Amino acid sequence: MNPPKETPTTDFVTIFDETYDQPDCRAYFRMMDALGYRNQHHAVAAFRAGLDEVMRLRGIDAPRVFDFASSYGIVSLLMGHDVTLEEVLRRYRAPQFEAATPQQVMDWDRNWLAERRRRDGTIRFAGLDVMPNAVAYGAQVGLFEAAFAEDLETNHPSDALALELSHADLIVECGSVAQLMPRALDRMLAACGPVKPWLMTSPIRGNERAAAAEVLRAHGMVQEVLPLPPFVHRRFESSEEQARAIANAQAAGHQTDGTETTGHFHAQVLLARPEGERTDPATWRLPLSVAPLPDAF
């Protein structure tokens, strides 16, 4: 499979437009497979630990997780099911998916996921993305109990989305998008009401934005980097992309030897929460290391 054509949208991220709004998830997960995506494998382990902690602090039994810029719901999938990223990416290599209709893929995926839902599965997941087909797929296969195709950079949330956000306990985002959209972040947090949910993101190093930190502070939240080593996001597509990534990471104050110099974007987990809930992550069930996945399965 040839890597998909890429369309750069900023100096910091690459968006593979043709994969993000297909009627089913095949192109999206095959793109992740082809480019060696690993961010979700590492970040979700930290997201689960953060969710456990906010549940403990607030006495929550049935938490509500809001998957921001969710695309086809890979973060919700990994958080809510006994499935690994490796299993997900292997799945869509199977020959049966070549000639399947989108409805067949959704029917197969719905059954496959239902069999693997975590037994402690009391989490309600909601998804938000600007791509209607992506969030519709997540809802169709049971990943999202509520799904929204809205652009918060352009518009305020709909009444239904605002209501969903007002009940959120944890907002998660995997990759970098939340760090690039301060207007969306501000509108989302404004809709959350006076008690803000925790926010966990895993941006590529160099994609952190001072504007996002300012928005968080304005909503009474404090951001920190979790004490985890940098982890692989995906392989670089070219030497030019690697050079840009190294320059961006170094400009943000990161040491890049042994990380970006190895041929991969690297990411880290950022946590934002109200000042009064700043427990020490060293006391959590936080994975101080996660076994890396091989560069190719």
| Domain of residue 131, CATH code | 3.40.50.150
Structure tokens at 160: 């239904």
Instruction: Calculate mean pLDDT across residues 264-274.
Output: 96
Residue 281 lies in a domain: no
Domain, as residue range, for 158 = 7-275
What predicted TM-score, i.e. pTM, was given to this entire model?
0.90
285 found inside a domain: no
How far is the C-alpha of 111 from the C-alpha of 165, rounded, in Å? 28
> Per the domain annotation, does 280 fall within a domain?
no
Q: Cα(1)–Cα(216) distance, rounded to whole angstroms?
A: 41
| 288 occurs within a structural domain | no
pLDDT of residue 63: 97
Question: If pLDDT is split at 50, 70 and 90, which confidence band does 8 have?
Answer: very low
pLDDT at 164 over 60: yes
Report if residue 2 sits inside a domain: no
- Residue 22's CB is within 10 A of a number of other CB atoms, namely 17
pLDDT score recorded for residue 12 = 32
**Measuring CA to CA, which residue among 225, 269, 230 is closest to residue 46?**
269
Number of domain units in the chain: 1
User: What are the pLDDT digits (tens) for 90-141?
Assistant: 999 999 999 999 999 999 999 999 999 997 778 999 999 999 999 999 999 9
In a domain, residue 137? The reply is: yes
Question: Which of the pair, 294 or 23, is modelled with greater confidence?
Answer: 23
Structure token pair of residue 165: 């956000």
Measured from the Cβ of residue 35, the count of other Cβ atoms closer than 10 Å reads: 19
What is the pLDDT at residue 2? Answer: 36
The answer to whether 204 touches 13, Cβ cutoff 8 Å, is yes
Inside any domain, residue 291:
no
What pLDDT, on a 0 to 100 scale, did the predictor assign at position 181?
84
Q: Give the confidence band of 150 by pLDDT, cuts at 50, 70, 90.
A: very high
- State pLDDT tens for residues 210-249: 999 999 999 999 999 998 899 999 999 999 999 999 999 9
In this predicted structure, what is the pLDDT of residue 288?
Answer: 52
